Structure 1
């Protein structure tokens, strides 16, 4: 039974009512036993103990308001003419102001059933006792029909009602739900002040239940809270759910508690979780974490849905991934990190880009100047925000950095090197169909030259690196974003105003701060960073050399989970690539890229990127693998690479550690996936040629023939010299 809520039209002016309990009650024989079982007084006591149930049965169209029960008349019509006291020494006493009738609870039973206490008293008492014992007959036919019909008002029938109590269980407010054609609506009733509005401040739901509970689950709405309560979970909500005015809610009952927020899986739900979380922290909560709804669940999925789905909600709450919110005064609580956090199946590592950039972690994208890393991160952000592949892409799914994009949602880029005009031009080239404008709130690009200049997240302080107010501002705004998947800071030097070049402490502090941001948001945080040119300006020829070329103290690379590097392809590669792909030669257009550091699963293959007319580096690795070169072309490419290596003082041998197969990362990309017997077979064929195309020579001052060269090369003539550096082989 749902109580009829008050409306503005039926709010009662209690001041105009006199105390009706002075009415003369019916004279009953309180000592008379019924079948030797109970006296009249004992039956009356049982009725008063279950007074709300009695009234709901007798008059289902009435409403509980504060300390009174209101109904139109003894026939059960809507209204407020008949009032029944619910508590105190006058509990059960009633008065009908329209007729002047009144009496006690037994007299009300008689009036509702249409009987006279003077002539029908035994039958009345039998009816009451049968009802109390669960053997009740229907009072009369229209009463049964009335009991089935929900109370209605201008919004239609009430579909649900929730009571708010203080810590001692006293009723202080009610919330009624309606489901009219225009969508669900809620009406609060302030029981204490007897008015049709929410109390001030607004109480939390289930205060008696959360009084001694720890942790407490905060959800969005009474329905979700009650579903968890019925499942044995200590839960609460603010009045009005996601629309609750945070500043008008009394969060003090959560002081000192661990609070887990279970948001609805939608934008308003996430924003509510972020805002409520900060309010709960300010109220003194020991810790606040936001549970992350499973990716596979539908929009608007909530705790009530989880219960309806048969989910083990206790296990979900104990083991699911969460985002921890922190205030400036946050402290570590070891009790939050018991081993139960690690029970059950471990969460699968999720990737923003398959095989490279992980979710919930900070990564570095390192490249030399004029490589195009800004264009690549913008293209990645477009893919994340739109979920669509580029219109010119050969792949049906979005791709970036050689792998498919796996996470889609909101993407944010802070760029310190490009102004609004340049960002606009790049977007126009990358997104001619303007897919980003289909959901513009999901792509946020902040060009700092137009937004007030650089934003220092870390600065050098008197006692070492310090967090800035700007970091807190950026963090707070990022935390409010719905479904955040990607945050880019480009470049690192514009955001970290501390000596990360030579101070390991500054490097560790900066990467640790960004890692905490990634953990809190669950998003992939990517920091663009510069690489230095290798010693002697020689080309990078291995993953190890690329990692060593990342600028700054080693603490920067060591402090992140993944580093992806881009570097110019060696010249001998470039000519082969243009020829193989039948593309016109262009300078500064061919780059190699790879994961050069990863603390977890990663695709570590070296990939080849070719600059497209848009300026974007596009992965050409699969195109190169698909090109079947004639045997003579392969031999020509090998001869060119062997001759150049010998001339540069970094010759190959036929086999062994300095052999072509072991050193194939220095060869054109067509050889990278080639089998050992194929590479060594081609060389053997050229060594056996008549005349030989390749020969084995010796270094200056040596008598051992082992170094591959062309017949006219320096090692073939015995004057070859080793150059110490990037391709050092030694003798």
Structure 2
């Protein structure tokens, strides 16, 4: 290893007249270093934003901040901040790293280094010398956006740098802005954003407010006190407008719709801050769209004369979104409106929801079948079509499906299998995205976070033009999200907020398909477990107002179902399905679906199974009650074995005691398939063998065994 000293010796630093002694200098160095070490990751991302943390160390290309991994920095213990560049053969401690990355020398500029650090830590210090002004700072590393094409610095009233905003103009793409929060070292806007040019407008009685740093700086260079807020109009309420209190504010908007909207929002924010007066300039006629103050300066316009003589408009009064007195009790008099359904008792009209299952279960085909049946339904039809365990309400309407995973040929094949008739072609719209230009992101990520995309607004406008729209299917959610809806609660909530807006405006049901989490080895046995298995944060499921889930039945149980309905068993052929979340009373029966071996479509076979038990409905009900009572008493049955129903038949109701073993097992199998009872894990058992009702204590995992008279042996023996 090359010779280097990890901790610098400042004892021989020259030219530092401020220190009365070497001991005092050493004390300050150690105090500052300890404070930097206590927030080491923030320090490093501030100095070297292209770095990465891995295995407890920080990696970067070099001390200049270029991407790479030849230089590493320790993150923990007493060595926090100690760095070594293997390529250059040099290193030091955190103070030396600070100085080197900022283009300074710790021996000859020790006081400047200390002032710079203290400024970042939030202490009041003298303004940095010319060599340390933001224009001299290291440029940010380039990525797919290329080099930045503009840079603007936001200072506080004392001249301390707060935020740097970089502009990028990548070829063939829209301009992008990236703010760097200097205090935290993170590439994001602060929680509360400053106005631009605070030192320059602090003493001004009149300030010109524009949209964007480029326009503001153009006016500042022309000698006019000007400012802007950081970010788009969506961030206006995050800005601190207090410095404008008591001032006259003139807003110079860009000449377009967005510019006028910004001016209106900014005028309200300025009023709330207590400005003396606010007005909006009217851009001159004949100018191109998006013309702004920067264009005026570039054209050589006498901008000072324009500001003082141009026509002005008074800002519109802010329209209240809600007036509380409009929603008093008399708005709710009389009988409430009837709920309208798409599928009677199962799925209402006008709601956003989710349809979830594992990959390959057949959810896309099942919803294509639903869309086809909605398109086939006619008002007044006495024999309604059925889907998802209920009758589709007879009504004339249109169904739309956007599918990202199937191309035109596959959609054609699937329609051939599922269409039970020929609807009016205009009433069934299925768009295979691979043949329509690829995925369509309905939300996108901006520097403010997730936002509804232009594509969302385009498709929304088209959907609004469709008369009698009843169903919209988005398949699958992830391909249309454009953001990380699985891990980002805000993205998931916004996605369903957008779907909810479409549902409210069109009156249609809007469903998005989604996947389960990757297999964790745990078999899903109940509707509650199926809900927990849906991929993503809980906010994702909660954001939709209705969720339906499909989960596969274990092979041993699937074989029994196939035998009961007279169908040859095949792998992935039997599923259970149920409404697992709704904001209103719905039919939450757990239904049995079997795959049609010819079409591949899952068909609801619940009624077929119930018919098999129709000769003994009273006995079936008695058996469900007996299973629930035994479990609630802490002595659950198993299907067979020492705790088996037949073995403990003396505890069953009188009408069940005479039922033979085979018939009792057959009845139990039917009830399990119908979801009226479930198998549970309990005690030391790792197998699902104990019986309970779906919402019983053992079913939800909180049941406790109790030893009772006459059944002591039952509570500790096994079974199947």
TM over 0.5: no
Larger Rg: 1
Q: Structure 1-normalised TM-score?
A: 0.43
